[in-house]
A and B are shown apart, each in its own frame.
Chain A
Amino acid sequence: MFRSQYDTDVTTFSPQGRLLQVEYAMEAVKQGSAVVGVCSATHVVLAALKRSFSDLAWHQRKIVPIDEHIGVAISGIAADARVLTKRMRDECLQHRFVYGDAMPVGRLVHLVADLCQKCTQRISRRPYGVGLLVAGVDESGPHLYQTCPSGEVYDLVGMALGARSQSARTYLERHMDEFSSASREALIRHALWALNETLASAKDQHLSAENCAVGVVSIGDDMRFHLYEHEQVQPLLDACAFPKSGGTATETSTEQAPQNVTDSDEHHDATMQQDTP
């Protein structure tokens, strides 16, 4: 296999001006199972597909609450994510301790970004092989951010990371006009629909209460981050009315994704008719 001369350490540029080790770290993000984030004018929703590495194991954690008002979805090396989320929690607690106030989401994300960036400029360090979708609310409203191993930060209305996330991004791009005015329920449905796109059709996967987690945070009176896992997810999944996974689930469901997800009843009937054996 071809090996580059320029990827033995993180601080050496290739002649094309690339930092190969950093790019490899970005690849690690794509290895993780998919996570989706969507942001409206009032809410932010995270949805994640949880893997279990063995039939004997529980499903991994994909969505982590950071502080009352912030949660993150992780994709990539889970151990690295643990270090970063721990740091984020500590920073939020420190901010509350000193200022008596919730940490602004953007501040926290840039702090993580600086942490990631430091690892790309020291020969003795390894970049964090994890991408985060950070959802939170503060005085300036709801926010969805993405951080990368390279130290870059993106302020987003929707994003998907991890394995097979391209199809979810395609879904999000098609529906992004609907996000800003979407209700809480509609936004959760969008997130789960997008997540549904990432499932491997060959393996006959489908979203279930076991392998799926949803996090929601909104502006208003209740600015807390709510995490739904296990049996709490089932009602959210039920509200989505996915087509029963067929041979080409990915392809067809992209086409079938309703233009307006809010009228789910209609859609529910349509898909049921189509997929009932």
Chain B
Amino acid sequence: MSHPDPGFVSMSFDSDTQRKIVSHQRTWSPYVDNGGTVLALAGRDYAIVAADTRLSVGFSIPSRNFTKIVQLTDQAVLASAGMGADRQYLHKILRSRLEIYRYQHQKEMSLGAIAQLLSNTLYSRRFFPIYAFNVLGGIDANTGEGFVFGYDAIGSFEKVKVVCSGSGQTLVQPVLDQQLAGRQKYDVPDDQRMASLSLAEAIELTRDVFNSAAERDILTGDALELYAVTASGVRCERFELRRD
């Protein structure tokens, strides 16, 4: 089959394209901010990955049901805010990479390895960044403890207990910090970190902060998709948010 190559997993750009990247940045931007808020939160034996489903372009909302989350394995879920098209591309290549890993190693990729893979994937586009702000959540296959990873657009990442990205970040992150003060810190012993926060409480907190963000952030709203990762698998829930 000889369909025109629509740019499958092409990570490098020819010199002509690079010249265009430099010379046309002023006239046309390849980027668009589609907004949205993503959040990941980990407890002792669970992780939550949540995102709203609004797709915004400026002041208009082309879609109220545009998922920002992809389930990568039974133990890892990724959510990305930022540009819709870049997110779809990133999610697609990550799924392909994981499939290749599955074939080559006859097992699922571990959460830590996925975190590093995502970082490498983002960094491979260091000079033409993938405009997506990722949070990755899951549970460690060995210990069963939940962990989340927060990223910038070019691959810097940090292993934490709770993180928020996207248009509602400035509204949500301070609340999380206040509510969960100290619990995401690594100077606290392992068994105390987030240990007192149950999954049900964490879901309640997530719903509250998304409802709050939807009140003030016009790019966040419509619905909340929430993936709860536990040892028994991944559960997806959906809650309505304000639609104005």
Whether chain A touches chain B in the assembled complex (some CB pair under 8 Å):
yes
Q: Mark A residues whose CB is within 8 Å of B.
A: 65, 89, 93-94, 96-98, 107, 111
B100 engages A89 (CB within 8 Å): yes
Residues of A near B9 (CB, < 8 A) are 97
Q: How far is the CA of A224 from the CA of B9 in the complex (A)?
A: 25
For the complex, count residues of B whose C-beta is within 8 A of A.
Answer: 11
Interface presence of B186 (CB below 8 A): no
Given A96-B96, A97-B96, are A89 and B8 neighbors across the interface (CB < 8 Å)? no
Residues of B near A96 (CB, < 8 A) are 96
Q: How far is the CA of A94 from the CA of B100 in the complex (A)?
A: 11
Which residues 63-96 of B have a CB within 8 angstroms of A?
92-93, 96
What 1/0 mask marks residues of chain B from 183 to 205 whose CB sits below 8 Å from any chain A CB? 00000000000000000000000
Residues of A near B6 (CB, < 8 A) are 98
B96 engages A93 (CB within 8 Å): yes
A98 engages B8 (CB within 8 Å): yes
A111 engages B1 (CB within 8 Å): yes
Which residues 1-21 of B have a CB within 8 angstroms of A?
1, 3, 6, 8-9
Q: Mark B residues whose CB is within 8 Å of A.
A: 1, 3, 6, 8-9, 92-93, 96, 99-100, 103
Q: How far is the CA of A141 from the CA of B78 in the complex (A)?
A: 34
The 10 residue pairs across chains A and B that have the minimum distance between CB atoms:
A93-B96, A97-B92, A97-B8, A94-B8, A89-B103, A97-B96, A98-B6, A93-B99, A98-B8, A93-B100
Q: How far is the CA of A157 from the CA of B207 in the complex (A)?
A: 54
Say what secondary structure dominates the interface of chain B: helix
Q: How far is the CA of A111 from the CA of B1 in the complex (A)?
A: 8
7 new A-B pairs (CB below 8 Å) besides A89-B103, A97-B8, A98-B8? A89-B100, A93-B99, A94-B8, A97-B9, A97-B96, A98-B3, A111-B1
- Minimum distance in angstroms from B101 CB to a CB of chain A: 12
- Minimum distance in angstroms from B105 CB to a CB of chain A: 13
Whose C-beta in chain A lies nearest to the C-beta of B99?
A93
**Can you list 19 A-B pairs with a CB-CB distance of less than 8 A?**
A65-B103, A89-B99, A89-B100, A89-B103, A93-B96, A93-B99, A93-B100, A94-B8, A96-B96, A97-B8, A97-B9, A97-B92, A97-B93, A97-B96, A98-B3, A98-B6, A98-B8, A107-B1, A111-B1
Q: How far is the CA of A75 from the CA of B93 in the complex (A)?
A: 32
Residues of A near B103 (CB, < 8 A) are 65, 89
Residues of B near A107 (CB, < 8 A) are 1
Q: How far is the CA of A65 from the CA of B6 in the complex (A)?
A: 26
Q: How far is the CA of A65 from the CA of B104 in the complex (A)?
A: 11
Q: How far is the CA of A94 from the CA of B3 in the complex (A)?
A: 12
- Minimum distance in angstroms from A140 CB to a CB of chain B: 18
Residues of B near A97 (CB, < 8 A) are 8-9, 92-93, 96
Q: How far is the CA of A98 from the CA of B7 in the complex (A)?
A: 9
Whose C-beta in chain A lies nearest to the C-beta of B6?
A98
Residues of A near B3 (CB, < 8 A) are 98
Whose C-beta in chain B lies nearest to the C-beta of A67?
B99
Whose C-beta in chain B lies nearest to the C-beta of A98?
B6
Q: How far is the CA of A94 from the CA of B8 in the complex (A)?
A: 7
Q: How far is the CA of A111 from the CA of B96 in the complex (A)?
A: 20
Whose C-beta in chain B lies nearest to the C-beta of A114?
B1
Residues of B near A65 (CB, < 8 A) are 103
Residues of A near B92 (CB, < 8 A) are 97
Residues of B near A94 (CB, < 8 A) are 8
- Minimum distance in angstroms from B87 CB to a CB of chain A: 15
Q: How far is the CA of A94 from the CA of B96 in the complex (A)?
A: 8
Whose C-beta in chain B lies nearest to the C-beta of A91?
B1
Whose C-beta in chain A lies nearest to the C-beta of B9?
A97
Q: How far is the CA of A65 from the CA of B99 in the complex (A)?
A: 11
- Minimum distance in angstroms from A206 CB to a CB of chain B: 27
- Minimum distance in angstroms from B94 CB to a CB of chain A: 11
Q: How far is the CA of A94 from the CA of B2 in the complex (A)?
A: 13
Q: How far is the CA of A98 from the CA of B10 in the complex (A)?
A: 13
Q: How far is the CA of A111 from the CA of B8 in the complex (A)?
A: 18
Q: How far is the CA of A107 from the CA of B3 in the complex (A)?
A: 14
- Minimum distance in angstroms from A94 CB to a CB of chain B: 6
Whose C-beta in chain B lies nearest to the C-beta of A64?
B103
Q: How far is the CA of A115 from the CA of B6 in the complex (A)?
A: 22
